[in-house]
Structure 1
Amino acid sequence: MTRPSSLAAGFQRGAAWSVSIFMFVPGEEEPHVGSGFFIDDKGVVATAAHLVGEARQILVALPDKRVLAAELEGLNENADIALLRITPPPRVHPVFGRPGSLRVGDWVMAVGQPFGLERSVAVGVVSGKDRHFSDDGELMFIQSDVALNPGNSGGPLLDAAGAIVGMNARTIVGPVGTPGASLAIPIEIVLQVAGELRRDSDAPARPRLGVQFDDVPPLTAWSAGRPDTSGALILSVPRGSLGEQLQLRAGDIVTTMNGRPIGGSSDLVTALLAWRKLSDTSIVVQRAGKELVLGRE
């Protein structure tokens, strides 16, 4: 793939809906600094939930140099997504890309203020898609080699044209501080969670399976007598979780959920995000060499 001669036009476009966020926490002299971006033209800003914490005051610095007080509209700690609202709303019309159309090797940009350096851009390529980690539950990530630093969290990941394709979340750092992999939450998940957090939302609460799961390791598939590693491996089922109510067990391999084939843990994330009601739930698993259908009628 040929590197574009410049990504300046894409940066200028995407920077128009990127903001800096300052959070003042009681007992701390300096504010926490992070990034965010508008998700509509009504003054709603998405950012990372871990930035907000116990902030007693939140300020948002706009591209036009204005600084406005923000109100916390909603927060989902599990998804690490928070919604802020500012008044009056600026005249912005953010454009969203489609993470599904991104290819490994495509150029992406992170806009934010690393180390307090406002409106900075870092450039890299998509290193992987649909990354899921067992500790992150119903989340998956876009992996890139974009250099994320303190101050980038919550800011937008842009494609080469400047459309928002994700929210920068964190970096996995090597064991001796070597450069790691940067992770961003796909914008489709950000917008779905944001829709659930809005005060005027009439979206019903989604069921939460509450289990840990991951891709099926090759040796696990081999030991189970399976010809491939398709499916999602259940690692743990906490007491009281919906997973326990549905009779899932650690070691089960989920192959289908509500009619959706599960090729890997990211497919199970997609199925869980689309899950709307507990009734009529159907989960097909392989357990001890047998296929079982679990669920609620």
Structure 2
Amino acid sequence: MLSLKSGLSVLFTLLLLSQAAVARAELPDFTALVEDAAPAVVNISTRQKVPERIAAGPGQQQMPDLEGLPPMFREFFERNMPQAPRNPSNGRQREAQSLGSGFIISADGYVLTNNHVVTGADEIIVRLSDRSELEAKLIGADPRTDVALLKVEGKGLPIVKLGKSDDLKVGAWVLAIGSPFGFDHSVTAGIVSAKGRSLPNESYVPFIQTDVAINPGNSGGPLFNLTGEVIGINSQIFTRSGGFMGLSFAIPIDVAMDVANQLKTEGKVSRGWLGVVIQEVNKDLAESFGLDKPAGALVAQVLEDGPAAKGGLQVGDVILSLNGQPIIMSADLPHLVGGLKAGATANLEVVREGARKTLQLTVGALPAEGEELAASGTPEAERSSNRMGVRVAELTVEEKKSLDLKGGVVIKEVLEGPAALIGLRPGDVITHLNNQAIDSAKTFTSVAQALPKNRSVSMRVLREARASFITFKLAE
């Protein structure tokens, strides 16, 4: 007979084996998904004529000879090495190549990829899973979302199944297929780390963040859910090394397909636009505007004759929701507005001077890049209260006109005090202080003298024609 000790040992071993079997059963098996979806994933290579670089001068790093390297590695190093200036006068050109990924969305040959994979290309080659190559035509591209639509000639081509990125949940398994460094049909897997991520200079894409291994060459490839549906386009990584570091970002397929359909039917992409500059609401700003918690989008600037101005939106309003959808982070607002069409109605819930109200306005069309913002003898400076520590002057008529302002004061000198501590500079324009409009140096002095102590106070400042709210506290 087994001893008690031996019996417990056997029982414990069986328990571990059982737990291991359960764990194995819970892990996803991607083999069927890959077999079904991989034929519709393509490799994209481009060729482009670019001016030849001149030799590095004194103090410049010499570009190494990369001609002997395979294109996939040469392109990677060219993107990450410091580059010597080009010499347009010598007239010589060389051929640059790049690699990326894409996927077929229709049997007659429409292909989705990233704009940055094909931008500036003189020739685009799509290589299918059977290694056949087809020349592609660029139907259209949208730099704002980094989406491009290509067309190859073909019939009965394999296609991917499209899902709904809105249905995706954080923690769900996802899989990527692409061509990192040119290695075709490489498969990597991970989970959804977050949804609705905003990246710098990417206002119109609520990115899907994952920990799927993505590297140069994966760009433009599909991100699949466990049912084999494409729910995103792999677009960017966060990296300090040039390679994967655990943070990958994909364009939601709902956003990408809306862009692709507009490019296909209209040749361009139109988006909704309010005509405001917004900023995040932090704890101090929330306190100064009488909010229960940091949330919403603070209106720092309203552009003249824009939809927001015509609809009654004002500087200092905090937008809490749009058409019933809450604005938690300020970046939520561009995502929602961009999805509306020009002429659509937007119902905004805002907080103004501590009270909630609803505004209804008509959404405009987003102008071309660089056109969203208007372009940007001084009276004697009046010294403000020593509690602020600045000398200010009223704006001239010309300054008000160039900045599209009706009031405000310009800082002429920053002395010791709160202004210096919060980073104000000469040339900054103050238009609001403690939720009050500043129309003159006298008003500024009066408001500054009455500022409360040990409570967050907001100030609206224009620097180089860009407006933002900052907060500070005055000590006893």
TM-score norm. by structure 1 comes to 0.85
1:81 and 1:196 map into 2 onto residues whose CA distance is 11
Give 1:28-107 correspondences, 5 Å limit. Answer: 28-107=94-173
1:23 to 43, 46, 61: 46
| Superposition deviation, residue 143 in structure 1 | 0.6
Structure whose CA Rg is larger: 2
Question: Is 1:170 equivalent to 2:250 in the alignment?
Answer: no
Highest RCO, 1 vs 2 (Cα 8 Å, sep ≥ 6): 1
1:58-84 alpha-carbon deviations (Å, 9 max, x no partner): 000011211000000011111111100
Question: Is 1:276 equivalent to 2:341 in the alignment?
Answer: yes
Question: Is 1:224 equivalent to 2:224 in the alignment?
Answer: no
1:120 to 186, 189, 211: 186
1:41 and 1:179 map into 2 onto residues whose CA distance is 36
2:213 to 140, 147, 157: 147
The residue type paired with residue 221 of structure 1 is A
| Superposition deviation, residue 296 in structure 1 | 3.9
Secondary structure of the residue aligned to 1:29 is: strand
| Superposition deviation, residue 12 in structure 1 | 2.1
Counterpart contact for 2:45–2:99, Cα < 8 Å: yes
TM-score norm. by structure 2 comes to 0.55
Q: Call closer, same or farther: CA 1:29–1:277 in 2, change over 3 Å.
A: closer
Question: Is 1:11 equivalent to 2:34 in the alignment?
Answer: yes
Q: Determine the structure 2 residue equivalent to 1:130.
A: 196
2:269 and 2:126 map into 1 onto residues whose CA distance is 30
| Superposition deviation, residue 272 in structure 1 | 1.8
1:222 and 1:127 map into 2 onto residues whose CA distance is 31
1:273 and 1:267 map into 2 onto residues whose CA distance is 10
Q: Call closer, same or farther: CA 1:100–1:33 in 2, change over 3 Å.
A: same
1:212-243 alpha-carbon deviations (Å, 9 max, x no partner): 55654344323322112332344666778655
| Superposition deviation, residue 7 in structure 1 | 1.3
1:120-157 alpha-carbon deviations (Å, 9 max, x no partner): 01111111112123521221111111111000111101
1:178 and 1:205 map into 2 onto residues whose CA distance is 33
Q: Call closer, same or farther: CA 1:93–1:114 in 2, change over 3 Å.
A: closer
Counterpart contact for 1:110–1:123, Cα < 8 Å: yes
1:82-135 alpha-carbon deviations (Å, 9 max, x no partner): 100000244223211222222222111111111111110111111111212352
Q: Call closer, same or farther: CA 1:219–1:110 in 2, change over 3 Å.
A: farther
Q: Determine the structure 2 residue equivalent to 1:108.
A: 174
Secondary structure of the residue aligned to 2:336 is: helix
Report which stretch shifted further, 127-136 or 113-122: 127-136
Secondary structure of the residue aligned to 1:31 is: strand
Q: Determine the structure 2 residue equivalent to 1:286.
A: 351
1:101 and 1:269 map into 2 onto residues whose CA distance is 21
Secondary structure of the residue aligned to 1:278 is: coil
1:5-51 alpha-carbon deviations (Å, 9 max, x no partner): 53121222221221110111112434110011122222111111112
1:217-272 alpha-carbon deviations (Å, 9 max, x no partner): 34432332211233234466677865566565665422232454434446534532
Q: Call closer, same or farther: CA 1:221–1:95 in 2, change over 3 Å.
A: same
The residue type paired with residue 101 of structure 1 is D
Q: Percent identity?
A: 33
Larger helix share, 1 or 2: 2
What is the root-mean-square deviation in Å for CA atoms of aligned residues?
A: 3.1
The residue type paired with residue 30 of structure 2 is L
1:49 and 1:176 map into 2 onto residues whose CA distance is 20
Counterpart contact for 1:71–1:86, Cα < 8 Å: yes
Report which stretch shifted further, 28-37 or 248-257: 248-257
1:171 and 1:216 map into 2 onto residues whose CA distance is 27
Counterpart contact for 2:141–2:148, Cα < 8 Å: yes
Report which stretch shifted further, 149-158 or 241-250: 241-250
Report which stretch shifted further, 115-124 or 226-235: 226-235
The residue type paired with residue 26 of structure 1 is K
The residue type paired with residue 70 of structure 1 is A
Q: Call closer, same or farther: CA 1:238–1:23 in 2, change over 3 Å.
A: farther
Q: Determine the structure 1 residue equivalent to 2:254.
A: 188
| Superposition deviation, residue 175 in structure 1 | 8.8
Q: Determine the structure 2 residue equivalent to 1:262.
A: 327
2:322 and 2:312 map into 1 onto residues whose CA distance is 14
Counterpart contact for 1:25–1:55, Cα < 8 Å: yes
| Superposition deviation, residue 164 in structure 1 | 0.4
Secondary structure of the residue aligned to 1:197 is: helix
Q: Call closer, same or farther: CA 1:202–1:51 in 2, change over 3 Å.
A: closer
1:238 and 1:11 map into 2 onto residues whose CA distance is 50
Q: Determine the structure 1 residue equivalent to 2:402.
A: none
The residue type paired with residue 257 of structure 1 is L
